[in-house]
Structure 1
Amino acid sequence: MSGDLAGRRIAVTGGSSGIGAAVAAELRARGARVGIIGRNAERLAAVADATGAVPRAADVADHGAVRSAVEGLAEELDGLDGLVNNAGAMLHSRVSEGRVDDWSAVVGANVLGVLHASSAAIPFLRKAARQGPADLMTVTSAGADRVTRPEFAVYMGSKAAARHITEGLRLELAGDLVRVSMVSPGTTDTEGHGPGIADPELRQRVMAQKASLGLRPTAVAAQVAAVLALPPGVSIRHLEVRPFPGD
């Protein structure tokens, strides 16, 4: 609903494409002031131009860079009362292949990114919660509770870790009145998830499934915004969003 997030100041990681860019656009349409964080400065600037979000280039796997980005956005937006941990990497392979760089990229974005951005934002969220709603959200995965192929183990393991970390944050921040939630999309048609898969057959299969069955990023973004727009005294801890039919 237009205007239902008016006055909110929300940072979104992974804001240069896919779900993150769609979230930035949706939050802006609902009246929020939005900051976006991403590695690719050029793509980040394009999203900022299209949405009116404030860009800060940083790799979420780099603790110092993320802290500086979050603090910069808080200064630019006159505080923060929301964080959406959305940055992610999907690089599927079997553990026996020993793709160490891929493991580092996946864990860096999907696990360390949640820790780095959350720890940087918490002081601002705690302060904001004294005057009104404050939210910390993590975008995880509907498949994080199971591994259906050996190539998916590292990715799903990282998303399961993100879920547990977010649940720990819920317990940690409950006394500060900061709402903590998760939105877990099923297969989503985003350009960032799939092209980096090394095995050509698996890459083709994953990309075809996303194109034929995947949710549109805008559909996920609408649910992210709906959770953030809940009235005081109401929370949704975990929302799973799946394409229908399929997935």
Structure 2
Amino acid sequence: MAEDMATLEENFRRQNKSCFILGASGETGRVLLQQLRQRKLFSKITLIGRRRLFEDSAQENLAQEVVDFEKLDDYAAAFQGHDVGYCCLGTTKAKAGTEGFIRVDHDYVVKSAELAKAGGCSQFHLESSKGADKSSSFLYLKVKGQVEADIEALGFNRYSIYRPAVLLVDRQESRPTEWLARKFLSSCSFMFPTMSIPIDVVARAMASNTVLQPEQKSEILENKAISALGQSAAK
């Protein structure tokens, strides 16, 4: 697998593709950016967000586009000319309220995907959530499921959905109970790969899956599949 992946990645690099990342300031997006730069899969990576993440905009092969998500149509140019798009954008109801959560996790994401598709993007990778279902009675899962469906309707040449379970990541602002929960889930993650998953495994899976050629135009990777792909990529 490691040898095959190395060959696939080398062939992919030769195509000089470009990509953009939405949500690079978040936990998954930040590690995904590290993965893509480390593996040098793209000739250019563009970060699209509310603010600049790096002071030095002259960093090799890295561009930054600051946009107002409330007026995305005014920033259509930021979404043009990319071959691959990654979306790790999201918030929570606790942080943004019900309307704010829907606006960020649905409206911003779908509008960004529409602009990317119109701008020539052919491959879109979406970080969603375990249990996403547009028919769910739970707001979070319903919104995630609706986003998945709305983006699929756009007709990307390739569309990959990632549905991780509980994300394991060390946050400096976390409370002691959250820290203990993560430690417990982390110790169980290899025995029970449907319960949780480390952030770096998700990011590795998204990067690795980019160079693979799935049989179907659209695909959904549940937590177990993400875990298997992410762990194999680390070998």
- Helix, strand or coil: the match of 2:119? helix
1:113/1:30 CA distance change after superposition, 3 Å: same
TM-score (norm. length: structure 2): 0.70
**Pairwise CA RMSD:** 3.6
Q: What corresponds to 1:15 in structure 2?
A: 24
What is the one-letter code of the residue matched to 2:158? R
> What is the aligned partner in structure 1 of residue 65 from structure 2?
56
Q: Does 1:121 align with 2:100?
A: no
- What is the identity, as a one-letter code, of the residue corresponding to 1:81? D
Find the residue that maps to 1:34 and give its secondary structure.
Answer: strand
Aligned to 1:31: 41
Q: Is the 8 A contact 2:113 2:151 kept in 1?
A: no
Contact 2:152 2:218 in 1 (8 A): no
2:166 alignment partner, one of 174, 187, 207 = 187
SS in 1 for 2:124: strand
Is 1:82 the counterpart of 2:77? The answer is no
The one-letter code matched in structure 1 to 2:129 is: S
For residues 54 and 84 of structure 2, the distance between their equivalents in structure 1, rounded to whole angstroms, comes to: 21
Bigger shift: residues 179-188 or 54-63: 54-63
1:1-247 residue pairs with structure 2 within 5 A? 1=6, 3=10, 5-6=12-13, 7-28=16-37, 29-32=39-42, 33-41=44-52, 44-45=53-54, 53-64=62-73, 67-70=76-79, 74=80, 79-92=81-94, 102-125=97-120, 134-145=122-133, 153-169=138-154, 172-173=155-156, 178-190=157-169, 209-210=181-182, 212-213=184-185, 214-231=196-213, 237-242=219-224
Structure 2, unaligned stretches of length 5 or more? Answer: 1-5, 186-195, 228-235
Cα 1:146–1:115 shift into 2, 3 Å: closer
**Structure 1 residue runs without a partner (length 5+):** 93-98, 127-133, 196-202
Counterpart-to-counterpart distance in 2, 1:106 and 1:184? 18
The answer to whether the 8 A contact 1:5-1:27 is kept is: no
Paired with 2:17 and 2:133, the residues of 1 have a C-alpha distance of 32
Measured in 2, the distance between the counterparts of 1:4 and 1:60 equals: 35
- Label 1:223 to 1:234 Cα distance change in 2 as closer, same or farther (>3 A): same
2:212 partner amino acid:
L
State the match for 2:232 in structure 1. none
User: Does the aligned pair in 1 maintain the 2:110–2:151 contact within 8 Å?
Assistant: no
Bigger shift: residues 226-235 or 204-213:
204-213
Measured after TM superposition, the shift of residue 80 of structure 1 is 0.9
Report the secondary structure of 1:137's partner residue.
Answer: strand
